[in-house]
Amino acid sequence: MRRLNIGIAGLIRGAAALSAIACVNVIAVPARANDSTAHLAAGGLVLSRNDAIEMRSEDLFVSMDEVRVRYQFYNRTDKDVTTLVAFPLPDITAPSDENNFSVPAPDADTNFLDFRTTVDGRPVSMQVEQRAFALGVDRTDLLKRLGLPIAPHTAALPKLIVGLPAAAQQELRELGMVKYDEYGTGGAMERVGTPLWSAHTTYYWKQTFPTHREIVIAHSYKPSVGGSAQTSVGAEYASDQMQQEYRDLYCVDPPFLRAVGAMHRRYPSEGGGNIISEYRFGYILKTGANWSGTIRRFHLTVDKGRSTNLVSFCMDGIRKASPTRFEVTKTDFWPTRDLNVLILTPPRGR
């Protein structure tokens, strides 16, 4: 039986200047290799804690291309309730050889997951707050004073850092915010600056829940999807610890391993190597359960993309709804653990 699996524990902190709780998840990869990328797991909406609002239903759709969530909230009191609603994005750092992860919209400083939301079908005008942290200390004001972007993955940032006055560069280095390196191949040496801080980004707005009325809040975004050119699932070289991590994170079981073996036999490489690719993404189910009571009806759809792909995730009561979609429906659901999805794909065009 599949079970809902906790995966890697999320890092929970209060979003600065907000009365919502932000939850992010930086995902470790069972098989870290040079051809692997990690992913950043996001979750759902977060409400300021109150006992007036109940969630009547949550309809969650996840795939490698899109995450869609539709909530039905109901104010069960005799008064209108206005509260803060927030969507915390995963914390983000500058990509590096040691910290290589997927960013769906890398050119966007704040909305790098292309997050969108509606209330009763109408787009919501949201505010955004982005803060920078280095060694656990908020350094946002310093970056603003120096005229630097807060988002550390900004493409222009390395050149901006090395263009700062010497005193400013020294200050950033001493605060653990920047690493400087010099590179050269026989000619003039080039100085390169790498930002070491992380950015915490939260979109938020004030929402009024009318008395004894149901409203629908829906949002969507592009997930951060990690991957490897070759999967380690069932591989002879994979250690027992590595295979155990696949079981713990994605509930990889003997039937799934047999399917992986069949995929290898169906799509052999000319040299007999492993040509099955692996993709991973997550969703933080336990984000901010600040409404009153349980989720009356929870419905999950996981779409694996192509019928020839293989998918594994941890959840009870999985039902195959189509050649690519798998569904789970629960009543009086209280999310306590997070969702991690593993998809294996054969070579394109085969």
CA atoms within 13 A on the CB side of 318: 18
Decide if 217 contacts 71 (C-beta within 8 A). Answer: yes
Q: What is the DSSP string of 40-64?
A: EEEE--EEPS-SSEEEEEEEEEE-S
What is the per-residue pLDDT across 234-282, written as a single tens digit (0 to 9) for each?
888 888 898 899 999 999 999 999 999 999 888 876 555 568 899 999 9
pLDDT at 13: 29
CA distance 294 to 298: 10
336 by DSSP, 3-state: which? coil
Pairing of strands 295-303, 53-62: parallel
- Degrees (nearest 5) of the Cα angle 54, 13, 313? 65
List CB contacts of 240: < 8 A, sequence separation 6 or more. Answer: none
- Summary mean pLDDT of the chain: 82
CA distance 276 to 348: 10
For domain 11-152+197-345, give its CATH number from 1.10.3720.10, 3.90.1310.10, 2.40.128.520, 2.60.40.3680: 2.60.40.3680
pLDDT at 40: 61
CA distance 84 to 47: 6
List CB contacts of 51: < 8 A, sequence separation 6 or more. Answer: 292
Q: Any bridge partners for residue 203, and if so which?
A: 87, 128
Query: From residue 100, how far is each of 108, 109, 155, 166, 186 by CA, in Å?
Result: 18, 17, 15, 29, 29
pLDDT at 272: 54
What is the per-residue pLDDT across 134-174, written as a single tens digit (0 to 9) for each?
999 999 999 999 999 999 988 889 899 999 999 999 999 99
Q: Return the closest-CA partner of residue 282 out of 47, 29, 48, 3.
A: 29
Q: Return the closest-CA partner of residue 287 out of 12, 47, 23, 8.
A: 23
Q: For residue 338, which amino acid is it?
A: D
Q: Any bridge partners for residue 268, and if so which?
A: none
The separation between CA 195 and the C-alpha centre of its own chain, rounded to angstroms, equals 21
pTM over 0.85: no
* The pair of three-digit structure tokens given for residue 26, joined into one six-digit string: 């930086």
Report which of residues 284 and 135 the model is more confident about.
Answer: 135
List CB contacts of 287: < 8 A, sequence separation 6 or more. Answer: 10, 23, 43, 44, 45, 46, 88
